[in-house]
Structure 1
Amino acid sequence: MMVDLGSFSDEKFDAKKWINSACQSRHPQDPLEKHLVDLEMKLQMTSEEIASSLEDQSSAALLRVPRATRDVIRLRDDALSLRNSVASILLKLKKAEGSSAESIATLAKVDTVKRRMEAAYETLQDAAGLTQLSSTVEDVFASGDLPRAAETLANMRHCLSAVGEVAEFANIRKQLEVLEDRLDTMVQPRLTDALSNRKVDVARDLRGILIRIGRFKSLEQHYTKVHLKPIKQLWEDFDSQNRTNKLANEKSELERISNSHDFRPSLPTVSFSSWLPSFYDELLLYLEQEWKWCMTAFPDDYKTLVPKLLIEAMTTVGANFVSRINLATGEVVPETKTLAKGMLDILSGDMPKGVKVQTKHLEALIELHNMTGTFARNIQHLFSESDLQVLLDTLKAVYLPYESFKQK
C-alpha cells in the first residue's frame, strides 16, 4: 500500500479523517488489524527516511553558510572599493572641467586668429593674382584662345569679389567689364555660324564660354535673334504669296489685252483664314526641330531657349497679327470687305454710319481663335517639360493677338 504524503502538507489536515479514509480504502478480505499494522509500519519508515534526508540537507546547508558569508563579505568590500574609485574619478573630472573650459576658450581664440590670418593670406594671394592676370590678359586675347580668355576673365572676377571694393583695383574692374564685352563680341559671329549650320559641339563650347563670364542672357538673345529670322519669313510668306498672285494677275491681264485670244484664269487671293493653319503647322515643325537639336546642344537650357524664341516671335508679329485678324473678320461680309475694314474698325467707330458687327464677323473671329487653340495645345504638348511659368508665358504670347478683341 502506497502512502499519500500530500495530504500531510495540507493546512486543514485531520488525523482521524485520514485514518478513517485509509481504513475504508483497504481490501475487504484484509483484516483491519493487519491493515493498521502495515500502515503504521509504512508511516514509521517514511518518517525515518524524511528525518534522514532532512539531516543530510541540514548538514550540507550548514557547510554552505560560511562560504556564502565569505562571498557576501567579499562583495561588500568590492562595492566599497568601487565606490571609492568612482568618487575619485568624479573628483578628477570636476577639477578637469574648469581647466578644460579655459583651454577650449583659448583654443577657440587661437582658431579664430588662425582663420583670419588664412583669409588675409588668401586675399593677398587674390590681389597678387589679380594684378598678374590684369597684366597678361591682353596676351591671352591675342592668342585667340577663347576658352582660356573666358577662364582668365572668370578668375579676375573671382579675385575682384575676394578683395572687395578696393580703390586701387577700380581700374581693373572697369577693364574687366570692357574685356567681357569684348569676348562676348568675339563669340557672337562664331555662335551665329554654329547655330545656323547646326554645329552641336561648337555651339556647346561657345555656350560654356558665355556661361563662364556670366553672359547667359547674351546666349539667349543671340539664339533668339538667329532663329527669329526664318520664323518672320514664314509669317511674311502670306503677303509675299498674295503679292506674287497679284503681279501674276496684272501680267496676265496685260497679256490678255495685247493678245485678246489668249485667256488665263486669275490667281485667287489667299485668305488669312485658309493660310493660318499652314503657318501654325510649319512653325510647330520648326519648333519641334529646334527642341530636339537644343536637347543635344544645350541640355541645360532648351526648356527655356525654345519657349523664349516663340514668345519673342509672337511679340514681333503681334501688331501685324492683330491687323490680319481684323481684315480676316471683315472679309466674310461684303460691305466690310469692300472697305477693307474689320471688327476693330467697326468697334472703334471708324466706319460709315450704320455699319455694325454681324454674326459672320464673330463666327470668323471664333474660327481663327479655334485654330490658335489647336496650335496652343500642340505647343503645350511640345513644351510639357518646361517650367510651368514658362509654359504659361508661352501660351499667353500665343493668344496675345486676340487680347485687342477681348478689350473691345
Structure 2
Amino acid sequence: MDVSAFSDENFDVKDWINKTFKSAEAQENRDAFVSSLVMKLQLYVQQINSAVEDTSHQVLQSLPRVMRDTELLLQEALSLHNMMQSVRQEIVKVEQDTGQSIASLERIDRIKCDLQAAREALHEADNWTVLASDLEEVFESGNIESISAKLVSMQQSLQVLVSVPDYEDRKLQLEGLKNRLEAIASPLLVQAFTTGSLDQSRVFIRVFTSIDRLAQLLKYYHKCQKGALLQQWSHLVEEQDEGVQEWLHKFYDKLLSHWHEQVKWCGQVFSNPSSMHTLVALYADVLSSLEPSPNVCIDAALKQQSDQLRFLMELKQLTKHFAGNLQVAVESAVQGKGVEKGELLLLAQSVYSPYINHISKYATYEQQQLTRVSEGIVCTKDDLMDTIQTLGLSVPKAVSGAMDAAQRCQQFTEGCGYPGLLRSLKVFFTSYLDQFKSAQRRLNQQKREQEDWNLFQMCLTLLQNIGELLLQLKQLNSDLKHYIVDAITSVNGQEENPFSQFKQLLLTDTGRKELDALISNAKEEETHLLEAVVQQVNKLCSDVHHVTFQVILAPVTLQLQQVSTAPTWCNTSTSVTSELPDFSFAPQEYITQIGQYLMTLPQHMEPFLLRDNPALAMALTVADAEYDASSSKGQTEGEGYADVLLGLVARGTCQTFCECILGIGELSPGGCKQLATDIDYLGNVLEDLGLPLSEPLAQLALLLRVNPSEYHSKSSGSAPRLVAAVRQMRNITSS
C-alpha cells in the first residue's frame, strides 16, 4: 500500500478515499475491501507509533553528550577571546617601540629618491647640452628623421628639467628648433600631400607626431587639398561656354569623388581619428571659399533668365541631390570617429549657403511667377455678361495658380518660404480681384430706374462667382494650413541629421522668427492665412449685393417718385368722394404697377435662389447677416435666401414709400383715403408674398383715416414724427 499521499501538505481525505475506491478490487467487494483497508491503516499506525517511540528514546539518551559538547565549545571560545586581546596589546606595544625607527627609514628613503632625481636631472642637463651642441650638425645634414629623433630626446630631457631656473628659455629654444624642422620639412610635406605619396606622408606623420606637431601637419594637409579643389573650381568657371548649372554639377561630382579618395587615403595614412574632423572642416571651408563665389555666379546668371524662380529651383534641386549624396558619404565615413553634429551642420550650411539670400527674396520671385499667371487671366470683355461669365470660369484657374505656387514654395524653400508665399498670394489675389471690382463698377454704371432683369441676372451671377471664389479661398486656406503644419517636421529636420534642418540651413534669424510666428498662427483653427484677401472679397460681396438691391428696387423707386408731387392728394374734386366709404376707393396705377412688379420677383429669383447653389449662398451670407440667420428657421437654403432678399426689397419699398409720403405738401380728405387705400394695397401684396408691411406705413394708414376731431386722441400711439407730418399735411390744428 502506497502511503506517500499522506505526507502531502494539501492532503484531502475525501479525494484520497474516492480515488482509492475507483480501483477494480474495491468495485468487486466493497465491504471486504474496506475491512482490509482499515486493517492495513491500523498496522501502519502501529508501525509509526513504534518508530516514534524508538526515535524519542534515542534522543533522550544522546542529550547529556550534546550538553557536554556545548560546554566545551563555550570554554574554547573564551580562551580564543583572551588570546586575541593579548595579541592586540603586543601589537600596540610594538608600534610604540618601533615608531621612531620607521620614521627614520622613511626620511632616509626620501633622501635617496631626491638624490636619484638630482642625478637624473644632472644627467639630462648634460644630455641636453650634448644634444644642443650636436643638433647643428644634424640640421646641416638635412635628415628629417635624425633631426626629429634628436628633438624627441631633447623633449624628454626637458620634461625632467621642469624645475630648473632656465626651463622657459630651454622650452623656447626647443620650440624654435621644432619650427626650423617644420620649415625644412614643409616643402617636402606639401609635395607628399599633393602627389598623394603614402610612404612619404607616413614618414612625415611619424615625425610631426613625435614632436607634438600633428595639428600643424593637418593644417598643411587642409591647405594643400583646399588649394587643389579651389583651383578645380576656378578652372571650371573659366570655361565660358558653360553656365553655373553645369559648373556646379561638375564640381559637385569632383567633390564626391575627392571625398571617397581622401577617406580611403586618410585611413591608410592617419591612425588618429582627427583626420575625419579635418576632412569635414576642409569641405566646409572649400564650399565657403570658392572664387568667384556661387552667389556671384548665380546672380550673374539670373539676370539672363526670363523665369528666375524656375532657374533657381533647378539649381536648388541639383544642390539638394549633392547634399544627399554627401550626407551618405560623410555619415558612413565619420561613424564612430567622434565628429560632432555641430561640425556636420557647418558643412551642410556651407552647401546651402548660396541660396539663403534667394530664399529671403522668394516672395519677389514668386510674385513675378504669379504675375505671369495673372496676365493669363484676362476676363474683361466688351459685353458685360461675357465678362462676368469669364470671371466665373477664371476662379479655378486662379486658385490652381495659387496651389502651384505652394508646391513651388515647398520644392524651392523646403517649407521655409511660406511667409513669402502668403505675401505674394496677397498681391496676386488683390490684382485678380481688380477685375471683379471693375465688373461691379460697370454693373453700377449700367443700372437704370426701370425694370432690367438681365442686369439683375448679371448681378446674381457675379455674386455667385464671388461666392465660388470665397469657397475656393476657404479650401486653399485649409490646404495651406495643412502644408505649413506638415512643414514643421521638414524645416526642423531630424535632430540627428543636420543636413535636413532646413530652418538653420536656409533662413536668416529674421526669417526663422517670421516662420515660427506663421507656424504658431497656422495652428489656430479660426485663423485665415489670407485674411486681407478675404476681407476684400467680403467687401466686394457687400458692394455687389448693394448694386443688386438697387437694381431690384429701381422700378419701385421710379414709380414712387411721383407720389410726393401727385395732384390727386390736394384735388378739390375729391372732396365729394371723401364722404364715400373706404371700399369705394381703388388703388392708383403707380401702386398697382409696384404690386405687379413685386409679385414677379420670385419667378426671376427662382433660377438662382430656389435651387442648391452653395457659391451664391456663401456670397449672400457674407453680404448680409440676415441670410445666415435665415438658415436656422427650418427652411431650405434657397427658399430662406429668397425670402430674405424679398424681405429686403419689401423694407426698401416701404421705406421709400414712407419717405415719399412725408414729402407731400397737402392732403385733402379724399386724398387721405386714397393714400390709405394705396398703402393697404401694398400691404395686401406683401402679405401675399409672406411679408409684413412696415410699422411706419401701417401707422401712416391709421393716421390718414382718423377723423380730424379725434386725431389728437387716436394718434397717441404713433411715432411723433409721423403724427406731426400727417397733421401738417391734413391741416389739423395742433392742440
Correspondence list, 1:315-330, <5 A: 315-317=288-290, 320-330=293-303
* Aligned alpha-carbon RMSD (Å): 3.6
Q: Which residue of 1 aligns with 2:279?
A: 306
Residue in structure 2 matched with residue 401 of structure 1 by the alignment: 354
> In the TM superposition, what is the alpha-carbon distance from 1:203 to its structure 2 partner?
0.7
In the superposition, the TM-score normalised over structure 2's length comes to 0.36
TM-score by length of 1: 0.62
Deviations 1:30-51 (CA, angstroms, capped at 9, x unpaired): xxxxxxxxxxxxxxxxxxxxxx
TM-superposed CA distance for 1:200, in Å, is 0.8
Residue in structure 1 matched with residue 322 of structure 2 by the alignment: 375
Structure 1, unmatched stretches of 5+, are: 1-53, 243-268, 334-359
Q: 1:407 to 1:73 in 2, by over 3 A?
A: closer
Q: 1:102 to 1:363 in 2, by over 3 A?
A: farther
Looking at structure 1, the residues matched to 326 and 232 of structure 2 have their Cα atoms a distance apart, in angstroms, of: 17
Is the Cα–Cα contact under 8 Å of residues 280 and 343 in structure 2 kept in the other structure?
yes
Q: How far apart are 1:152 and its partner, in Å?
A: 1.4
> Residues 132, 80 of structure 1: CA spacing in aligned structure 2 closer, same or farther, 3 A cutoff?
same
Identity fraction in percent? 28
- In structure 2, the CA distance between the partners of 1:124 and 1:195, relative to structure 1 (3 Å rule), is same
Answer yes or no: is the 8 Å Cα contact 2:237–2:247 preserved in 1: no
Per-residue CA deviation, residues 215-264 of structure 1 (Å, 9 max, x unaligned), is 2233222223322333223212333221xxxxxxxxxxxxxxxxxxxxxx
CA drift at 1:209: 0.8
User: Which letter maps to 1:392?
Assistant: L
1:285 aligns with 257
Q: 1:13-28 maps to which residues of 2 (within 5 A)?
A: none
Given residue 147 of structure 1, which amino acid in structure 2 is its aligned partner? E
Contact 1:318 1:401 in 2 (8 A): no
Change (3 A) 1:69 1:308: closer
1:202 partner letter: Q
**2:264 and 2:66 mapped to 1: Cα distance?**
90
Change (3 A) 1:132 1:407: farther
CA offsets, 1:282-336, max 9 Å, x none?
A: 2211221122122112242431332233233223216522101212332212xxx
Q: Within 2, Cα distance between the matches of 1:98 and 1:406?
A: 86
Counterpart Cα distance in 1 of 2:179 and 2:320: 42
Aligned to 1:133: 131
Task: Report the CA distance shift for 1:113/1:68 in structure 2 as closer, same or farther (over 3 A).
Answer: same
Q: Which residue of 1 aligns with 2:715?
A: none
1:208-227 correspondence to structure 2 within 5 Å: 208-227=206-225
Q: Distance in 2 between matches of 1:238 and 1:73?
A: 106
CA distance in 2, matches of 1:125, 1:407: 69
- CA distance change for structure 1 residues 82 and 369 in 2, over 3 Å: closer, same or farther? same
Secondary structure at 1:331 match in 2: coil
Q: Structure 2 counterpart of 1:400, which letter?
A: S
> Which residue of structure 2 lines up, in the alignment, with residue 38 of structure 1?
none
Comparing 360-369 and 163-172, the one that deviates more: 163-172
User: By how many angstroms is 1:277 displaced?
Assistant: 1.5
On the 8 A contact 2:234/2:291 being kept in 1, the answer is no
Deviates more, 1:216-225 or 1:178-187: 216-225
* CA spacing shift, 1:101–1:319, aligned 2, 3 Å: farther
Contact (CA 8 Å) 2:193, 2:221: kept in 1 or not?
yes
Among candidates 198, 201, 204, match of residue 200 of structure 1: 198
CA distance in structure 1 between the aligned counterparts of 2:298 and 2:98, rounded to whole angstroms: 84
Q: Distance in 2 between matches of 1:293 and 1:403?
A: 34
* Residue 245 of structure 2, aligned match among 273, 289, 308: 273
- What secondary structure sits across from 2:118 in the alignment? helix
Cα contact 2:218–2:275 (8 A) shared by 1: no
- CA distance in structure 1 between the aligned counterparts of 2:72 and 2:231, rounded to whole angstroms: 106
* Secondary structure in structure 2 of the residue aligned to 1:241: coil
3-state SS of 2:305 partner? coil
- 2 CA distance for matches of 1:127 and 1:140? 20
Residue pair 2:234, 2:292 contacting (<8 A) in 1 also: no
Q: 2:144 aligns with which of 143, 146, 149?
A: 146
Equivalent residue number for residue 185 of structure 2:
187
CA distance in 1, matches of 2:69, 2:296: 111
Q: Compared with structure 1, are the counterparts of its residues 365 and 97 closer, same or farther at alpha carbon in structure 2 (3 Å cutoff)?
A: farther
Are the aligned partners of 2:124 and 2:157 in contact in 1 as well (CA < 8 Å)? Answer: yes
Preserved contact between residue 198 and residue 269 of structure 2 (Cα < 8 Å): yes
Q: What is the CA-CA distance between 1:174 and the residue it aligns to?
A: 3.9
1:396 is aligned with what amino acid? Q
Q: 1:296 to 1:84 in 2, by over 3 A?
A: closer
In the alignment, is the contact (CA less than 8 A) between 2:151 and 2:178 conserved in 1? yes
Bigger mean CA deviation after superposition, 100-109 or 139-148 = 100-109
CA distance, structure 1, for counterparts of residue 232 and residue 117 of structure 2: 59
Deviation of 1:79 (Å): 5.3
Measure the CA separation in 2 of the matches of 1:405 and 1:74. Answer: 101
Q: Secondary structure at the match of 1:383?
A: helix
What are the Cα deviations for residues 11-40 of structure 1, in whole angstroms up to 9, with x where unaligned? xxxxxxxxxxxxxxxxxxxxxxxxxxxxxx
**Aligned residue pair count:** 299
Letter in 2 for 1:273: Q
In the TM superposition, what are the counterparts of 1:154-173 in structure 2 within 5 Å? 154-164=152-162, 166-168=164-166, 172-173=170-171
Provide the C-alpha distance between the structure 1 equivalents of 2:112 and 2:153, rounded to a whole number of angstroms.
26
Using the alignment, how far apart are the partners of 1:213 and 1:393 within structure 2? Answer: 31
Measure, in 2, the Cα distance between the counterparts of 1:405 and 1:383. Answer: 27
Distance 1:171 1:72, change over 3 A: closer
Instruction: Tell me: CA distance 1:69–1:332, structure 2 relative to 1, closer, same or farther (3 Å).
Output: closer
State how far apart, in whole Å, the 1-side matches of 2:149 and 2:107 are.
Answer: 38
In structure 2, do the counterparts of structure 1 residues 364 and 75 end up closer, same or farther at CA, with 3 Å as the change threshold?
Answer: closer
How far 1:367 moved relative to its partner? 3.0
Q: Distance in 2 between the 1:104 and 1:73 partners?
A: 46
Partners of 1:307 and 1:391 within 8 A in 2: yes
User: How many angstroms apart in 1 are the aligned matches of 2:200 and 2:293?
Assistant: 36
TM superposition shift of 1:126: 2.5
